[in-house]
Structure 1
Amino acid sequence: MDCALETTIMDFDLGSFGIGLITGWVTAYAVYRARGLFQATAETLSDTTAKVGNAAVRSADSRYVSDLIAFCESAHLAGGQVKLTDIVIEPRFVPQQEFARPIPSDEYRDVFEIVPKTHDHPALYSHYNIDTLSINELSEGNRAIALLGEPGSGRTTALLAIALHSLGKIRFTPPPDKVQQQMDSEEERMNEKERSVRIKERVMMEQRAKEQLALERGVKFDEKADEETKNKLPLFNWHQPVEQ
Structure 2
Amino acid sequence: MPENILEIKNLNKVYPDGTKALKNINFKAKKGEFIVVIGPSGAGKSTLLRSINRLSEPTDGEIIFLGENILKANKGKLRKIRRHIGMIFQGFNLVKRLPTVRNVLHGRLGYMSSIKGAFGMFDKNDVQKALEVLERVGLEEQAFKRADELSGGQQQRVAIARAINQSPSLILADEPIASLDPNSSQIVMDYLRKVCDEDGLTTIVNLHQVDIAKEYADRIIGVKDGEIFYDGSPRGLTDEVIQKLYRKKEALHA
* TM-score band, normalised by shorter chain: under 0.3
Identify, as 1 or 2, the structure richer in strand.
2
Higher relative contact order (CA 8 A, sep 6+): 2
